[in-house]
Amino acid sequence: MDGFQQRREQKKHAILETATTLFMKHGIQKVPVSEIAKKAGVSQVTIYNYFDNKHTLVHACFLYYVDQALLEFERIVESDMPFPDKIKQIIFNKKETSQINEEFYHYLMKEYTSGETNYIEKIYVEKAVPYFTQLFEEGKKLGYIDPNLSQEAILFYIKMFKDTMQQEEVYKRVLPLTEDITNIFFYGLFGKREND
Amino acid sequence: MDGFQQRREQKKHAILETATTLFMKHGIQKVPVSEIAKKAGVSQVTIYNYFDNKHTLVHACFLYYVDQALLEFERIVESDMPFPDKIKQIIFNKKETSQINEEFYHYLMKEYTSGETNYIEKIYVEKAVPYFTQLFEEGKKLGYIDPNLSQEAILFYIKMFKDTMQQEEVYKRVLPLTEDITNIFFYGLFGKREND
Amino acid sequence: MDGFQQRREQKKHAILETATTLFMKHGIQKVPVSEIAKKAGVSQVTIYNYFDNKHTLVHACFLYYVDQALLEFERIVESDMPFPDKIKQIIFNKKETSQINEEFYHYLMKEYTSGETNYIEKIYVEKAVPYFTQLFEEGKKLGYIDPNLSQEAILFYIKMFKDTMQQEEVYKRVLPLTEDITNIFFYGLFGKREND
Amino acid sequence: MDGFQQRREQKKHAILETATTLFMKHGIQKVPVSEIAKKAGVSQVTIYNYFDNKHTLVHACFLYYVDQALLEFERIVESDMPFPDKIKQIIFNKKETSQINEEFYHYLMKEYTSGETNYIEKIYVEKAVPYFTQLFEEGKKLGYIDPNLSQEAILFYIKMFKDTMQQEEVYKRVLPLTEDITNIFFYGLFGKREND
DNA sequence: AATGAATGAGGGTTCATTCAT
DNA sequence: GATGAATGAACCCTCATTCAT
C-alpha cells in the first residue's frame, strides 16, 4: 500500500471510529452526518467520498464494530482461563469490547436482521459461530453444558445474556447480582441441587 | 361521562391505538405525526389537540401499552394453569399482548429509564412486581424455583427472556426451539440431571 | 335594551376588554384568539360570533381604546387646572388612560393609517381634533403658544410627545427629566431667555 | 480575505440587505424566512447556514442598520454645513439613511431595550452618543441650545423627533410643515419672540 | 482528493377559522 | 346562541445529499 492509499485508509478509519462512537452513544437517527464530519475533522463531502450515503456508512460502522468484537471474542475463547470465567467475561465484559449500546445496536438488529440481506446472520454464521461452537464443545466436554441441548438453543441463550448486558442501565443494575445470575445461567431457575 | 366525553375518549383511543402500533412497528423517529394522523383518519392538528406534542404522545402510547400488557399478565398469573405453562406463556406470548417491539421498546427504555423520571421502573415496581412476586412464590413453593435465588435475580432473568422474545426476528427463529429453551430456562446450561 | 341584549353587550364588553388588554401587553400577532377566549372565559367560536375575524376584533379593540382615551382627554381639557398642567398631564399621563403600548399601538398606526381606510385619521378629525383645537386656542390666548404656528404643526408636536411617552421604556427613563422636558416642550432647544 | 470569504461576505450582505428591507417594510413576524430567501435569490437553508435562526437574523439586521445609520450620522455631524441644517438633516433625512420603520423599529426597541441585554442602549452609548455630544456642544457654543439643558433631555428630544420621522405616514403628512416644525424644534410652542 | 456552499424534502408545531352539535 | 372538536395553511427549522471550486 503506497502513501496515498495509507493516508486514505487512515482517514477512512478516523471517520469510521468517530461515526461508530457517535452512533453507539446517541443512536443513528440522532447523529447528523454534519456532526460526524465536524468531530472527525473532515468535511461532510469527504465522508460522502468514502461512503455512498449514510446507510452505507452505518453499514461500515457495523462491520467495523463486529470486527473489533470478534477479536475480543477470539481472545477470550482461546485464552486458557477456566471455562466459567470465559462465560462470565463474554457475558459481562461490556466495557472491554467498547461500549456498544442500545439504539445503535437495535437499529442494526432491525436494519440487518429483517428483510432480505440479514447481514448479522451472515456475519455470525461465518465468523462468530465457529468460536461459539468451539466454546460449547469445551463446555460440554467439561460437563458444564448439557450435551442434549441443541447448538441453536445454546447460542440463543448465551447471546440473549450478552445482548441484555449491552444495555447500560440493565448492566448497572445487575452488576451486584453477578453471583446469582451466573448461577442461574448455569443451573436455571431450578438451581443447583445437592446430589449433583 | 356524557356523549361528548365519550366520543372524545374514543377518538383519543383511536389515535393512541394507531400511534402505538406504528411506533412499535417502525420506531418513533421514523413515524411522522402526519402519518399517524392519516392512518387514524384525523387531522394532524387534532392529534395536537389531544397531546401537547409528539413526546407526550409517545409517553401516552407507552402507558397505553403497559396497561394492556399488565392486564394480560394478570390474567396469566392468576389463571389455574400449571406453573410451567404460566412461565411459557409469559415468555412466549408475544402475539397475545400485541406485538411490542424493538425501536419503540428501546426508545422507551432509553427515554424512561435514564435520568430523573424513570417511568418504567416506577410502573414496574408499582404494578408488575407484585404479580411477579406472587408468581415466584408459587414457583418456589412448587419446587420449580431455587429458594436461594434473590428476587431481583429472578426478575432480571425472566424479564430478559420476555424482552428478548419481543423482538420479532428472534421470536421467529427461536420458536422451533421452544422445548430446549424452556429446559434451559429452568435448568440452565447445566441441564436437568437424572438424579433430580 | 332587553335582558338578552344586555347580556350580549356584557359578553362583548368582556371580550373587548380582555382582547384590548392582551393586545396592548403583548402585541397583536403574539396573542392567539384562543388565548383571548380562555382569558375571557368564553369559547373561541363565541368571539367569532361577535366579531367576524381577528382583524375585526382588533378594529373593535382600537375603537374601544380610543373611546376610553377620548373620555380621559375630554376630562383634562375641560378641567380648570392651569394650562401647563393640562399639557403635562396629556403628555405624561400614560398610566391614567390605561397603558396602551408599543406593538399594539404601532400595529394600529400601521394598519389604520396606511392605505384606504385610515381610521385613525378619521377618528382624530371627528373626535379628538375639536378638543385639541379648543386646547390650542386656550394656549394661544394665554400666551403659551405662538399664534403664528399652524394647528397641524402644533398637533403633530404634541402628538409626537404623547406617543413617545406611550413607550414603557422611554417613559421610565425620561421620568426624572420631566422638568427639563417640559421646558423644552414650551421653549424648544433654544430655551427660555431672560428678557421674555 | 480570499475569494471564498469574499463571496461569502457578499452573500451574507445580500441576505442582510434583503431581510432588513423586508423587515422594515412589513414587520418581523409578517416576513417568513422563506420570503427573504426567495427575494434574496437563495435557498431558505442558505439563510440558516449564515444565521442560526430567525432571531439571530433579526439581530444581525439591526446591527447592519445601525451601522449604516451611524455612518450617515457621522457624515452629517462632521460636515461643515450650518448647525440648523445639520439638525434638519438628522431629523428629516429619513430617505437618506434607508427607510427604517415602524414594526421593525419597535420590535427591536421592545426586543432589545427590555430585559437584560439592551443592545440598543449599549450601541447608542458606545457609538452614537459621542456624536450627539459633539453636536450638542457645537449647538450650545453657537447659542442654538440652552446650556442649562441636561444632555439626557436634549438627547431624548432630538431622538424623539428623529424616531417620529421614521414613520412613513407621519413623514409624508408632516413634510409640508417643515418650516413650522423646525421652528417648534428650536423655540418650542412658545415660539421665537421679537426681543431675542 | 477535499472543501465550502447550497438545496429539496420533510418534520414538528401553531393559529385563524369552520363544522357539528 | 354557545361550545367542543376539527382542520388547512403556514412557519421555523433540520438533514441527507449535491454542486462548484
Interface A-B: count of C-beta contacts within 8 A = 140
Quickly state the pLDDT bin for A128 (edges 50, 70, 90): confident
pLDDT average, residue stretch C14-35: 89
Tell which wins on pLDDT, B188 or D94: B188
Quickly state the pLDDT bin for D114 (edges 50, 70, 90): very low
Q: Which residue of A has its CA nearest to B101?
A: A110
The Cα C88–Cα B107 span in angstroms is 65
The Cα C8–Cα C14 span in angstroms is 10
Residues 18-57 of D with CB under 7 A from strand E: 42-46, 49-50
SS (H, E, C) chain B: CCHHHHHHHHHHHHHHHHHHHHHHHHCCCCCCHHHHHHHHCCCHHHHHHHCCCHHHHHHHHHHHHHHHHHHHHHHHHCCCCCHHHHHHHHHHCHHHHCCCCHHHHHHHHHHHHCCCCCHHHHHHHHHHHHHHHHHHHHHHHCCCCCCCCCHHHHHHHHHHHHHHHCCHHHHHHHHHHHHHHHHHHHHCCCCCCCCC
Tell whether C196 is covered by a domain.
no
Tell which wins on pLDDT, A63 or D53: D53
Q: Which of residues 29-88 of B touch A (CB under 8 A)?
A: 29-30
Does residue A53 carry a pLDDT above 70?
yes
Listed in sequence order, the residues at least 6 apart from A25 whose beta carbon sits closer than 8 Å to its beta carbon are A101
- Long-range Cβ pairs for the range A48-55 (8 Å, 24+): A50/A11, A50/A12, A50/A15, A51/A15
Verify whether the Cβ–Cβ distance B160 to A156 is below 8 Å. no
Tell whether D194 is covered by a domain.
no
The Cα A2–Cα A5 span in angstroms is 5
Count of CA atoms in the C-beta half-sphere (13 A) of B1:
7
Q: Do A188 and B187 meet the contact criterion of CB atoms below 8 Å apart?
A: yes
Per the structure block, which three cell numbers stand in for A157?
Answer: 441463550
Tell me which chain D residues have a C-beta less than 8 angstroms from the C-beta of C188.
184-188, 190
Alpha carbon separation from B114 to A38, A106, B59, B122, B125 (Å, rounded): 27, 17, 14, 12, 16
pLDDT digits (tens, 9 = 90+) for C136-177: 899 999 988 888 888 888 888 888 888 788 766 677 778 888
In one-letter notation, the amino acid at residue A163 is D
Tell which wins on pLDDT, D118 or C162: C162
Alpha carbon separation from A132 to A70, A100, A139, A156, B175 (Å, rounded): 11, 20, 10, 11, 21
Does residue B8 carry a pLDDT above 80?
no
Q: Do B161 and A157 meet the contact criterion of CB atoms below 8 Å apart?
A: no
CATH assignment at residue A42: 1.10.357.10
Chain B interface, best mutation among A120, A125, A132, A146, by max B CB count within 10 A = A146
The Cα B24–Cα A130 span in angstroms is 34
Lowest mean pLDDT among C76-80, D81-85, D178-182: D178-182
pLDDT average, residue stretch B160-168: 77
pLDDT of residue A50: 93
Flag whether C touches A (3+ CB pairs, 8 A cutoff): no
The Cα A14–Cα A61 span in angstroms is 11
In one-letter notation, the amino acid at residue D36 is I
Q: Do B139 and B83 meet the contact criterion of CB atoms below 8 Å apart?
A: yes
Mean pLDDT, chain B, rounded, equals 79
Count of CA atoms in the C-beta half-sphere (13 A) of B2:
1
The Cα D23–Cα D33 span in angstroms is 10
- Give the rounded percent of residues in chain C with a pLDDT score beyond 90: 20
pLDDT of residue D96: 41
Q: For residue A48, which nucleotide's C1' is closest to its Cα? A: F17
Per the structure block, which three cell numbers stand in for B195?
Answer: 438424579
In one-letter notation, the amino acid at residue D85 is D
Identify which of B143-147, B163-167, C37-41 has the greatest average pLDDT. C37-41
Quickly state the pLDDT bin for A65 (edges 50, 70, 90): confident
Place of cell 405616514: D169
pLDDT of residue D115: 42
Quickly state the pLDDT bin for C180 (edges 50, 70, 90): confident
- Give the rounded percent of residues in chain B with a pLDDT score beyond 70: 77
The Cα D24–Cα B40 span in angstroms is 44
pLDDT of residue A119: 62
Does residue B196 carry a pLDDT above 60?
no
Map residue C50 onto helix, strand or coil: helix
Domain tally, chain A? 1
CA nearest neighbour of D24 among D12, D36, D14: D36
Q: For residue D42, which nucleotide's C1' is closest to its Cα? A: E6
Does residue D51 carry a pLDDT above 60?
yes
Does residue B53 carry a pLDDT above 60?
yes
Does residue C121 carry a pLDDT above 70?
no
Mean pLDDT, chain C, rounded, equals 80
Verify whether the Cβ–Cβ distance A157 to B181 is below 8 Å. yes
- Give the rounded percent of residues in chain D with a pLDDT score beyond 70: 77
Q: Do C104 and C27 meet the contact criterion of CB atoms below 8 Å apart?
A: yes
- Give the rounded percent of residues in chain D with a pLDDT score beyond 90: 20
pLDDT of residue D195: 56
Q: Which residue is nearest to nucleotide E3 (CA to C1')?
A: A43
pLDDT of residue A163: 78
Quickly state the pLDDT bin for A98 (edges 50, 70, 90): very low
pLDDT average, residue stretch B23-47: 90
Tell whether D195 is covered by a domain.
no
Identify the domain containing residue B31 by its residue range: 3-187
Listed in sequence order, the residues at least 6 apart from D67 whose beta carbon sits closer than 8 Å to its beta carbon are none
Quickly state the pLDDT bin for B130 (edges 50, 70, 90): confident
Q: Which residue of D has its CA nearest to C177?
A: D153
Map residue A175 onto helix, strand or coil: helix
R_g over Cα of chain B: 19
Does residue C60 carry a pLDDT above 60?
yes
pLDDT digits (tens, 9 = 90+) for D148-168: 888 888 888 888 888 788 766
pLDDT of residue D181: 85
**Residue D165: count of CB within 10 angstroms of its CB:** 20
Tell me which chain A residues have a C-beta less than 8 angstroms from the C-beta of B195.
195-196
Tell whether C103 is covered by a domain.
yes
Tell whether B196 is covered by a domain.
no
Tell whether D167 is covered by a domain.
yes
Lowest mean pLDDT among B12-26, B62-76, D19-33, D86-100: D86-100
The Cα B127–Cα D82 span in angstroms is 87
Map residue C195 onto helix, strand or coil: coil
**Residue D137: count of CB within 10 angstroms of its CB:** 13
Q: Do A156 and A150 meet the contact criterion of CB atoms below 8 Å apart?
A: no
B178 to chain A, any CB pair closer than 8 A? The answer is no
A177 to chain B, any CB pair closer than 8 A? The answer is yes
Tell whether D118 is covered by a domain.
yes
Cβ of A8 near strand E (under 7 Å)? The reply is yes
Dihedral sign for Cα B68, B70, B75, B76, please.
positive
Minimal C-alpha gap between C1 and chain D (Å):
41
Count of CA atoms in the C-beta half-sphere (13 A) of B187:
18
Lowest mean pLDDT among B104-113, C21-30, D25-34: B104-113
pLDDT of residue A90: 83
Tell which wins on pLDDT, C196 or B67: B67
pLDDT digits (tens, 9 = 90+) for D19-49: 998 988 888 888 999 999 999 999 999 999 9
Tell which wins on pLDDT, D25 or C82: C82
DSSP states of C101-119? -HHHHHHHHHHHHSTTT-H
pLDDT of residue C112: 52
Q: Do C15 and C50 meet the contact criterion of CB atoms below 8 Å apart?
A: yes
In one-letter notation, the amino acid at residue B34 is S
pLDDT average, residue stretch D8-23: 88
Identify which of A117-126, B133-142, D178-187 has the greatest average pLDDT. B133-142
The Cα A59–Cα A52 span in angstroms is 11
Distance C53 CA to E16 C1' (A): 8
Q: Do D195 and C195 meet the contact criterion of CB atoms below 8 Å apart?
A: yes
* Closest Cβ–Cβ partner in A27, A173, A188 for B188: A188
Lowest mean pLDDT among A188-192, C48-52, C53-57, D109-113: D109-113
pLDDT of residue C163: 78
pTM: 0.80
Does residue A102 carry a pLDDT above 70?
no
D190 to chain C, any CB pair closer than 8 A? The answer is yes
In one-letter notation, the amino acid at residue D103 is E
Lowest mean pLDDT among B58-62, C120-124, D165-169: C120-124
- Give the rounded percent of residues in chain B with a pLDDT score beyond 90: 20
* Closest Cβ–Cβ partner in C113, C153, C173 for D169: C113
Tell which wins on pLDDT, A100 or D185: D185
Mean pLDDT, chain D, rounded, equals 80
Quickly state the pLDDT bin for C82 (edges 50, 70, 90): very high
Does residue B97 carry a pLDDT above 70?
no
The Cα C150–Cα A155 span in angstroms is 99
pLDDT of residue B98: 45
The Cα C168–Cα D106 span in angstroms is 12
Minimal C-alpha gap between A67 and chain B (Å):
22
Verify whether the Cβ–Cβ distance D191 to C150 is below 8 Å. no
D103 to chain C, any CB pair closer than 8 A? The answer is yes
Tell whether C28 is covered by a domain.
yes
pLDDT digits (tens, 9 = 90+) for A141-179: 998 888 888 888 888 888 888 878 776 667 777 888 888
Does residue A45 carry a pLDDT above 90?
yes
Q: At A27, phi and psi to the nearest 5?
A: 90, 165
Verify whether the Cβ–Cβ distance D192 to C103 is below 8 Å. no
pLDDT average, residue stretch C107-115: 54
Tell me which chain A residues have a C-beta less than 8 angstroms from the C-beta of B152.
177, 180
pLDDT of residue D157: 86
Identify which of A131-145, B39-53, C100-114 has the greatest average pLDDT. B39-53
Q: Which of residues 116-145 of D touch C (CB under 8 A)?
A: 139, 144-145
The Cα A13–Cα A18 span in angstroms is 8
Quickly state the pLDDT bin for C98 (edges 50, 70, 90): very low
CA D165 to chain centre: 10
CA nearest neighbour of C108 among C69, C70, C60: C60
Does residue A51 carry a pLDDT above 90?
yes
Q: Chain E bases under 7 Å from protein CB? A: 1-21
Alpha carbon separation from B78 to B89, B138, B139 (Å, rounded): 13, 11, 13
Q: Do D101 and D25 meet the contact criterion of CB atoms below 8 Å apart?
A: yes
* Closest Cβ–Cβ partner in C27, C164, C190 for D187: C190
